[in-house]
Amino acid sequence: MTTVPSPARKTSAVPSIHIQAFDAPLGAEVRGLDLSQPPSDEQFAPIVRAHLDHHVVVFRDQRITPEQQIAFSRRFGPLQIHVLRQFQLAGHPEILVVSNIKENGQPIGLGDAGHYWHSDLSYKEKPSLGSMLLAQELPEEGGDTLFANMHLAYETLPADLLKAIEGRRAEHSYLAKYEELRQRSPWRPALTAEQIAEVQPVDHPIVRTHPGNGRKALFVGEHFTTRIVGLPDDESRELLDRLFAHSARPEHIYRHHWQAHDMVFWDNRSVIHLAAGCPDHMRRRLNRTTIEGDAPA
């Protein structure tokens, strides 16, 4: 266990924060922090470092308000508003409700979020730096979230695949699987023309360099990545399928088993994630904030 003591102040002692790395290809737990109290600068610095080093950090038993989640998220950068505004938390547009619950016959949140491997908002010109997901109501069975380390995925690419993608870019589109999902679930409303205009396809490097830790990572995911720019469709499809399969190899994955009031903060520049799902009759609700990053390079 790595212990990161905070420097002592003359007026009062700052509680120490402990970073406990998981026995997994990524992930760590941050101990000794109650996010209902804004972290001091001395406490905040090791959180940033842990996020860069471990890519997924878990804060246990965080009984915080939406306002407190938003305020903590903003410490990392501007927040992004999801295009599905009908699933915003009332009064808090910065929070996307992720839930399979219906009230008065209508879904209160996005119930099929994470159905495919993806990095949040990779379809934007400035994809997400990271996402914070706070558990509000958890099912008795299932509901796990899987994270795959895209630095490891890049570093273990077969030589021929590495050569094939060198210097190439891929297109990302929010609409890639939208209609397919609409056909199988009640969670995807028809998009307006204004919403479609917000999510025009973009292209990004297939391999990006993380601006915070300097490491290279694959930046593709089966949900939003549609094609490799400049290649014939069949060749593009074959390469993407190989990249998707390689990224999700078991040795790259950490599986998060949610506990009550967990808040999980993951780095969308370093990982892709997948929702494992839960039985339809069991209620699940979480609140998500998403932090804006920069254009991948």
pLDDT tens readout for residues 261-276:
999 999 999 999 999 9
**Among 252, 256, 273, 284, which one carries the catalytic annotation?**
273
Average pLDDT, the chain: 94
CATH number of 83-292: 3.60.130.10
Domain ranges (residues) in the chain: 83-292
Region 76-90: mean pLDDT is: 97
- Residues ≥6 apart with Cβ < 8 Å to 167: none
Region 193-205: mean pLDDT is: 97
Report pLDDT for 93: 97
Burial of 281 (0-12, 13-18, 19+ CB in 10 A): exposed
Residue 12 has pLDDT above 60, yes or no: no
* % the chain with pLDDT above 70: 95
- Residues ≥6 apart with Cβ < 8 Å to 40: 6, 14
In this structure, the dihedral spanned by the alpha carbons of residues 186, 181, 286 and 200, taken in order and rounded to 10 degrees, is -120
The answer to whether 99 touches 109, Cβ cutoff 8 Å, is yes
125-170 per-position pLDDT tens digit: 999 999 999 999 999 999 999 999 999 999 999 999 999 999 999 9
DSSP string, 13-40: PPPPEEEEE-SSSS-EEEES--TTSPPP
Residue 8's pLDDT band, with cuts at 50, 70 and 90, is: very low
d(CA 263, CA 64): 10
Residue 14 has pLDDT above 50, yes or no: no
As given in the structure block, the two tokens for residue 79 are 């927040």
Region 96-115: mean pLDDT is: 94
Report pLDDT for 9: 30
Residue 15's pLDDT band, with cuts at 50, 70 and 90, is: low
Which of 14, 126, 150, 149 minimizes the C-alpha distance to 77?
126
Region 250-265: mean pLDDT is: 98
Respond yes or no: is residue 18 known to be catalytic: no
Residue 13 has pLDDT above 60, yes or no: no
**Among 55, 169, 269, 288, which one carries the catalytic annotation?**
288
Report pLDDT for 6: 34
DSSP-derived secondary structure letter, 6: P
Report pLDDT for 16: 83
Respond yes or no: is residue 273 known to be catalytic: yes
d(CA 262, CA 228): 37
Respond yes or no: is residue 118 known to be catalytic: yes
Region 25-43: mean pLDDT is: 96
Strand ranges inside 42-158, DSSP E = 56-59, 88-89, 92-99, 102-103, 106-107, 128-137, 145-149
Q: Which residue has the higher pLDDT, 184 or 15?
A: 184
As given in the structure block, the two tokens for residue 239 are 């390469």
Region 100-118: mean pLDDT is: 93
**Among 115, 118, 169, 284, which one carries the catalytic annotation?**
118
**Among 112, 120, 203, 267, which one carries the catalytic annotation?**
120
Region 170-191: mean pLDDT is: 92
The reported pTM is 0.93
Q: Where are the alpha helices (DSSP H) in 120-189?
A: 150-155, 159-165, 178-184
Respond yes or no: is residue 262 known to be catalytic: no
Instruction: Give the distance between the most distant pair of CA atoms in the chain.
Output: 66
